[in-house]
Amino acid sequence: MTSHYLVNARELQIKMAQGAKPGEGGELPGKKVFPDIAKTRGTTAGVGLISPPPHHDIYSIEDLAELIHDLKNSNRDARVSVKLVAEVGVGTVAAGVAKAHADVVLISGHDGGTGASPLSSIKHAGGPWELGLAEAHQTLVLNNLRSRIYVETDGQLKTGRDVAVAALLGAEEFGFATAPLVVLGCIMMRVCHLNTCPVGVATQDPRLRKRFSGDPDHVVNFMRFIAQELREIMAKLGFRKVEDMVGRTDKLIPWKAIEHWKARGLDLTPILHRPDVGAEVGRFRQHDQDHGLDKSLDVTHILELCRPAIERGAKVKAELPIKNVNRVVGTITGSEITKKHGPAGLPEDTVRIKFNGSAGQSFGAFIPKGVTLELEGDANDYFGKGMSGGKLIVYPPKGSTFIAEENIIIGNVALYGATAGEIFVRGMAGERFAVRNSGVNAVVEAVGDHGCEYMTGGRVVVLGKTGRNFAAGMSGGIAYVLDEAGDFSTRCNPELVGLSKLQDPDEIEEVWKLIQRHQAFTQSERAAKILADWKNFVPKFVKVLPEDFARVQKSLKKVQDQGLTGDEAIMAAFEENVKGGH
């Protein structure tokens, strides 16, 4: 997610899981990663993409609350939605989502999903949206949380009657996906993952895409029929507004349904229960969430300082104290720069702010090009999350007596999903450093477990030890690890990557320049020692290169040597790889 992408959104959804396959991730095979898909995803054409089941920045409801807060800072005008799966206990999670200040909670049923979902998951995982929705609505009402959050549901809603039932069970927003897809021409072949869709819906193959016969007007017409049927049902029930229907389970009469011999003995009372609460407790969304943005350091200090840069691109330099209660510092300012100056941002170092102290979570999240944040102190988790071209520098306070490279200076999940920019960290990073990094160049002096996991782009230079499981799921970018002890191979996950010595003169120069910049910005003694004895340190570097990425890069160099450039060269390299069976 880039800053430009985020500021242009009307709603940002955190998909905790998918209704049709809860707890599972997704994979896009390399042959479906066409150049335009790769450009959008910030990755390499022809290299498969892995979306793992866990969110590596969410291990608790507090982590989820932080991400909601991050996204709200990245775009103060967008709604933040959280998607949950309809299953036992979803009500408790929905209550947590409401307390975490999400604007919308979506309860997704098991009947939805594309043809790329495994059949075993569609048949045996998740639950019906009716059960999850009833539980979520009742729990929110019982805890007096329902009035501050929209409740949405989806999972094979097809008719106006489905919408009416969903509203009566507690929803006020409704998601349609499969039905509009069928209206656009989908014939449910369930080969979405094979790139062979015969009607051109779920494919990037230009020949098959020509067969697509859908028209936006078809979807408009379908939704008009849905609305018309809903209005007729509302008229029969005596409702004028959808809000009046929310949670009115007394209008659902189950007797005809359960008189059938197959359903005899079913007790639907728990689903149709209406919590007995006072009239002051709201049963549909009536109040805005308080995101506390007015208390942020950006709103109280930084925005005004950076006004000349935002409005006319003038250079700004400042120094401020920072505490660990100051979260997502720089993000609101960065979003205002992106709104005004677009994806290109500003010239490097237009905004340069130095902070002294301990930074809170998500320091420098989503900052665009032109913003440099320097921190003399330390930082919490999510340092540089989603960085979009900015620069972050962190080093211990002057006069510190500890050895920087042996002490943690930034927390876990730094650079999560970052797309562009540079960071220089004088000291150790916590776990999952650069997980899902898609383009940032980083220098760090040591990292914890799971470094560079699921990385798809950028360069990472580690000037010291790494934890276990380095490079798991790494499909792009390159890491250079200084392996003085000679045991890095035992801590690296070899499934997708190859290890080699640093031998190419151009690469040696590139790594030298990154370390030199690191030393200049942070006054790193570790970097100074390496640069002073460069010839002896070069053989100790291990290059970590994803094998599929290396193959595609080799093809790209081959077509470039033939005279092709730009998008033409990328497309030619992609086609060569697909024809080669990769």
Report DSSP letters for 433-448, one per residue. TTTT-EEEEEEEEE--
The proportion of the chain whose per-residue pLDDT surpasses 90, expressed as a percent, equals 77
- Give tens-digit pLDDT for 479-489: 999 999 999 99
Residue among 308, 244, 300, 249 at smallest CA distance from 273: 249
What pLDDT is stored for residue 215 in this prediction? Answer: 95
- How many C-beta atoms surround the C-beta of residue 474 within 10 A? 30
Which residues touch 533 (CB under 8 Å, ≥6 apart)? none
Least confident of 5-19, 261-275, 355-369: 261-275
Least confident of 80-84, 125-129, 314-318, 430-434: 125-129
- Give tens-digit pLDDT for 375-410: 999 999 999 999 999 999 999 999 899 999 999 999
Cα 145 to Cα 282: distance, rounded to the nearest angstrom: 8
Which residues touch 546 (CB under 8 Å, ≥6 apart)? 47, 471, 474, 475, 476, 477, 496, 497, 498
pLDDT over 80 at 230, yes or no: yes
DSSP string, 493-523: --SSEEEEE---HHHHHHHHHHHHHHHHHH-
What pLDDT is stored for residue 48 in this prediction? Answer: 86
Amino acid at 281: V
Domains of the chain: 3-16+55-272 (3.20.20.70), 309-546 (2.160.20.60)
Least confident of 112-126, 178-192, 344-358: 112-126
Residue among 81, 106, 109, 152 at smallest CA distance from 20: 109
Total residues belonging to the chain = 582
pLDDT over 80 at 116, yes or no: no
CA distances from 231 to 159, 218, 285, 526 (A): 12, 20, 21, 70
Cβ-count burial of 119 within 10 angstroms (0-12 exposed, 13-18 middle, 19+ buried)?
Answer: exposed
Cα 224 to Cα 132: distance, rounded to the nearest angstrom: 27
Helix (H, G, I), strand (E, B) or coil at 566: helix
What pLDDT is stored for residue 54 in this prediction? Answer: 78
Question: Which alpha helices (DSSP H) does 100-144 contain, by range?
Answer: 119-124, 129-142
Cα 444 to Cα 460: distance, rounded to the nearest angstrom: 8
* pLDDT mean over 135-162: 96
What pLDDT is stored for residue 582 in this prediction? Answer: 57
Residue among 7, 26, 27, 10 at smallest CA distance from 18: 26
Is pLDDT larger for residue 304 or for residue 17? 304
Q: How confident is the model at residue 180 (pLDDT cuts 50, 70, 90)?
A: very high
pLDDT over 90 at 18, yes or no: no
Q: How confident is the model at residue 448 (pLDDT cuts 50, 70, 90)?
A: very high
What pLDDT is stored for residue 579 in this prediction? Answer: 66
The secondary structure of residue 241, as a DSSP letter, is S
Residue among 331, 419, 430, 337 at smallest CA distance from 373: 331
pLDDT over 90 at 32, yes or no: no
61 phi/psi in degrees, rounded to 5: -65, -30
pLDDT over 80 at 117, yes or no: no
Q: How confident is the model at residue 581 (pLDDT cuts 50, 70, 90)?
A: low
pTM, rounded to two decimals:
0.93
Quick check: 497 and 548 in contact, CB under 8 A? no
What pLDDT is stored for residue 41 in this prediction? Answer: 81
Place of tokens 């999350």: 385
* pLDDT mean over 436-452: 97
